[in-house]
A = this chain, B = another copy of it.
Amino acid sequence: LITDTTTATDLYVQIQRFYAAQIHLLDDVRADDFAATFTEDGEFSYDASRPTARGRSAIAQAVIGYNERFRDDPVQRRHWLGMIDFRHQEDGTIHTTFYALVLTTRKEKTPLIGPSCVTRDVLILDQDGRLYTRSRIVEHDHE
């Protein structure tokens, strides 16, 4: 458990940097690199109507599959994550809750906004002190 203020500061900043790097990979549709930010047995539940993706290969495939719809309709998506809250758990995992907002830009200056989501992650630190997402559950505000 983190009791020292400085350590909590380091961890919070590390989480912010982890999410920034992870989301750049997602928005660049680097599916394998994005999947590699999850643990080997990571779980990604991004849509209540679809099965949870389990393992890096399934997670990468979910990203590729989702982006199929843009094959003949090029877009630039941007995921903004914010208002990150975290709790260090007794078992050493880190539970985060944060807002996520998707922006989709085509040829117009005004992006399409939405959905607005709340996301709950379980993160782990490996022996080298690197963060990975063990599980992610995305809840859409409109559902």
Taking beta carbons and an 8 Å cutoff, which residues of A are in contact with B? 5-6, 8-10, 12-14, 16-17, 19-21, 23-24, 76, 78-86, 97-99, 101, 103, 105-116, 118, 129, 140-142
Chain B residue contacts of A76, Cβ below 8 A = 116, 141-142
Q: A6-B10, A108-B142, A111-B114 are in contact. List 9 more A-B contacts (CB 8 A).
A: A6-B6, A12-B16, A13-B13, A23-B83, A78-B118, A80-B99, A105-B116, A109-B142, A111-B113
Q: Are A78's CB and B111's CB within 8 A?
A: no
Chain B residue contacts of A103, Cβ below 8 A = 101, 116
Copies of this protein in the complex: 3
Q: Are B82's CB and A80's CB within 8 A?
A: yes
Chain B residue contacts of A101, Cβ below 8 A = 78, 80, 103, 111
Chain B residue contacts of A114, Cβ below 8 A = 105, 108-111
Q: Are A142's CB and B105's CB within 8 A?
A: yes
